[in-house]
Each structure stands twice: as structure tokens, then as C-alpha cells.
């Protein structure tokens, strides 16, 4: 059950890459072929993927915390079971993604250490607190909804193990999105207190959800290269627009108001115009200055530190078993 330790592996030397290999690689990618772990790939491609996949895995794991905050307080047995299963799914996604990223030569332990030291990032959305039960609905509806927009195209991403992990993850995410919307629908049709709870959750989660697509295209320096490498298939702004266009009618259908005075249907574009995201806030959260960033990292650090003796015991026990087996042969 424990990951293969890859720390002993020698790192690729920083040598100039053969232009013929690069050309062949670019041609395969342009032809929509999958790149597999043993295939030759440019170092920059490998690095970009490790960064993106580990960031994605960390987001799944840190993302367990805000929702996990409500498992013990879920309002009935059915909701409790669904939420627990959902948060468990996120853990499972984290696991596949770490495993997929490990095929590129970075171990899970290295990735975890990068998360805890603040070197590796995770989605900014998980640095906001879950205050009421409606936040569980809002996260499923908006955050998983935004995640699906980001992730559906990744099922066709150029790196094979990543694309395959995403196929399974997307199926589960679409279930998560529906259960979140169903919670909101129920609250919005409930007592005045429940409706207030639902509207308050939408007010707090709307803008952070729009930030999940990343900086605007003119400030996203990596987009062009990532799109050429088929690591990304749509730009941040394209995905953000798509999310707004799908989500606004969903809010209207259950009688909730999207907290954006500038929101207006644009007949000519066939899309909604919407207000400017607070990019200063986004930048601050990326820097680690989100409202509950410290709590999130502290919780992961605590799980990691408190679990150290368990991981050690499992390793030592496995070694004892292996030695005993060898002695018996």
C-alpha cells in the first residue's frame, strides 16, 4: 500500500535536448497521441506536468478539509453518508493523481513535503471556510461544477496516465456537483432561515469559484505552451465564461441571486457579461494569505506528523516480514 520510494533515482542531467527528439515529440502531441511514462519527453513538459498534477492531487487532499468540517454535523443520516462518501472520493482522486504523477519520477513523499513547505500550491478555493451546512451545497454545486469545467478537457490531455485518471475522476465529480445542487435546491425551498443560509453561501462562494479558473488569459504566461502541449485544452477565460453561462440559470431556477450587480445577459454575444474578479484577493490567496490557509496547512501538517509513527511501523513490520520469509526459504 505504500508508495515506491523514488528519491534514490538520479535526476536527469540538464543537457541540451536533441532537436529531432523534440520535433518528434511535438508531432506526436499535435497528432493527439498519448505520451506514456517511458516515452521520451522534454524536461519542461515533465516539470510542468509534475507541477500541475501534484497541485491537482494536493487540491483533492486539502479539499477534504472544508467539507470534512461538516461530516460530523450533517443534518440527517442520508446526507451524512453522501457527504462522507463524497469526501472519501476526493481522497481517492488524490491517490490516483499522486500515483499518476509518480510515473514522472517524483515520489508522493516529495510531493507532500512540497505542499507542507508551501512550495507546491493547491486550488485557492480551499482557503475559504465552511460556515454553515449550505456551504456543503455551494461547494458541490459551484466548486465541483467549476472543477468539472476544468477537468473534462483533461480527459484528452496528452499525458496518458493523467488523462486516464481524469476519466474516472470526472464521473465522480459530476455526481458531486448534482448532490451539491440538490442540497441548495432543498435549502432554497425550505424555511426562511434555510433560504438565507443558501443565499449567504452563494454570496461567499461565487467569486472564489470564478477565481478557480486562474488568472485572466492576458496574465496567464503558461497557457500558450500548455495548450500547444495539449496539457490544457481551453483558456482560463473561456472556461470561466462557460461556467457563468451554465451556473447563472441554475441559481435563478431555485430563486437565488448571483452576487454580481454587473451580471447581464448579452444578446449579441449569446453569453453573460459579468463583473471583474478581485484579482488582488486571488493573488493574496495564492501567496498563502487566504482566510484559512494557515488552518488548512496546519491540519495537513498535523496529520503528517501524527501519522509518522504509523507509517514507520508499517515499514518496519513489512521489513520484518520480508526478512522472516527470506530466512524461511
Partner 1 sequence: MDAIATYALRLGDDSLILGQRLSEWCGHAPVIEVDLSLANVALDQIGQATHFLNLAGELEGKGRDGDALAFRRDVMDFTNCLLVEQPNGDFAQTIARQLLFSHYQELLFTALTGSKNATIAAIAAKAVKETSYHATLASDWVIRLGDGTNESKSRMIAGLDWMWRFADELFVMDDIDAAAMTAGVGVDKAALRAAWDARIDAVLAEATLSRPAPRRATTGGRNGRHSEHLGHLLSDMQFLQRAYPGATW
**Binding residues vs partner 1 (CB under 8 A):** 1-2, 61, 64-65, 68, 71-81, 84-85, 87-88, 91-92, 94-95, 98, 133, 183, 186-187, 190-191, 193-194, 299, 302-303, 306-314, 316-317, 320
CB of 216 to partner 1, least distance (A): 32
Q: Please, are residues 125 and 147 in contact by the beta-carbon 8 Å criterion?
A: no
Output 7 or 72, the one with its CB closest to partner 1: 72
CB of 185 to partner 1, least distance (A): 12
Output 294 or 317, the one with its CB closest to partner 1: 317
- Bridge partners, residue 264, by sequence: 273
Cβ-defined contacts of 80-84 (< 8 Å, 24+):
82/179, 83/136
Distances in whole angstroms, Cα of residue 200 to Cα of each of 130, 188, 261: 11, 11, 16
Output 16 or 77, the one with its CB closest to partner 1: 77
CA dihedral 41, 43, 44, 47 (to 10 degrees): 100
Output 134 or 277, the one with its CB closest to partner 1: 134
Q: What letters, b where the CB count within 10 A reaches 16 and e where it falls short, cover 249-279? A: ebbeebebebbbeebeeeeeeeebebeebee
Q: Measured between alpha carbons, how far is 226 from 270 in angstroms, rounded to an integer?
A: 28
Q: Measured between alpha carbons, how far is 59 from 115 in angstroms, rounded to an integer?
A: 10
Output 44 or 303, the one with its CB closest to partner 1: 303
CB of 240 to partner 1, least distance (A): 28
CB of 16 to partner 1, least distance (A): 39
Q: Measured between alpha carbons, how far is 199 from 254 in angstroms, rounded to an integer?
A: 10
Q: Measured between alpha carbons, how far is 258 from 56 in angstroms, rounded to an integer?
A: 27
CB of 303 to partner 1, least distance (A): 5
CB of 158 to partner 1, least distance (A): 26
Output 97 or 277, the one with its CB closest to partner 1: 97
Amino acid at each position: 500500500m505504500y508508495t515506491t520510494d523514488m528519491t534514490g533515482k538520479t535526476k536527469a542531467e540538464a543537457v541540451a535536448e536533441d532537436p529531432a527528439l523534440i520535433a518528434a515529440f511535438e508531432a506526436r502531441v499535435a497528432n493527439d497521441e498519448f505520451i506514456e511514462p517511458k516515452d521520451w519527453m522534454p524536461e519542461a513538459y515533465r516539470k510542468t506536468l509534475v507541477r500541475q498534477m501534484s497541485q491537482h492531487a494536493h487540491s483533492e487532499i486539502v479539499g477534504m478539509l472544508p467539507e470534512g468540517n461538516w461530516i460530523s454535523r450533517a443534518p440527517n443520516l442520508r446526507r451524512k453518508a453522501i457527504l462522507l462518501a463524497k469526501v472519501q472520493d476526493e481522497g481517492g482522486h488524490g491517490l490516483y493523481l499522486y500515483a499518476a504523477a509518480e510515473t514522472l519520477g517524483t515520489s508522493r513523499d516529495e510531493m507532500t513535503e512540497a505542499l507542507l513547505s508551501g512550495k507546491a500550491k493547491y486550488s485557492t478555493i480551499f482557503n475559504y471556510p465552511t460556515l454553515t451546512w449550505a456551504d456543503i451545497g455551494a461547494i458541490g454545486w459551484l466548486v465541483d461544477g467549476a472543477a468539472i469545467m476544468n477537468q473534462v478537457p483533461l480527459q484528452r490531455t496528452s499525458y496518458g496516465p493523467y488523462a486516464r485518471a481524469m476519466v474516472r475522476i470526472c464521473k465522480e465529480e459530476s455526481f458531486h456537483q448534482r448532490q451539491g445542487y440538490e442540497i441548495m435546491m432543498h435549502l432554497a425551498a425550505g424555511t426562511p432561515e434555510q433560504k438565507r443560509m443558501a443565499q449567504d453561501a452563494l454570496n461567499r462562494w461565487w467569486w472564489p469559484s470564478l477565481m478557480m479558473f486562474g488568472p485572466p488569459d492576458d496574465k496567464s504566461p503558461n497557457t500558450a505552451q500548455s495548450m500547444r502541449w495539449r496539457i490544457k485544452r481551453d483558456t482560463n477565460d473561456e472556461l470561466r465564461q462557460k461556467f457563468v453561462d451554465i451556473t447563472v440559470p441554475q441559481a435563478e431556477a431555485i430563486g437565488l441571486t448571483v452576487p454580481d450587480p454587473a451580471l447581464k445577459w448579452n444578446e449579441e454575444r449569446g453569453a453573460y457579461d459579468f463583473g471583474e474578479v478581485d484579482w488582488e484577493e486571488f493573488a493574496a490567496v495564492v501567496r498563502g494569505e487566504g482566510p484559512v490557509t494557515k488552518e488548512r496547512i496546519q491540519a495537513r501538517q498535523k496529520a503528517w506528523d501524527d501519522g509518522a509513527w504509523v507509517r514507520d511501523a508499517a515499514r518496519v513490520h513489512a521489513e520484518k516480514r520480508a526478512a522472516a520469509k527470506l530466512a524461511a526459504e
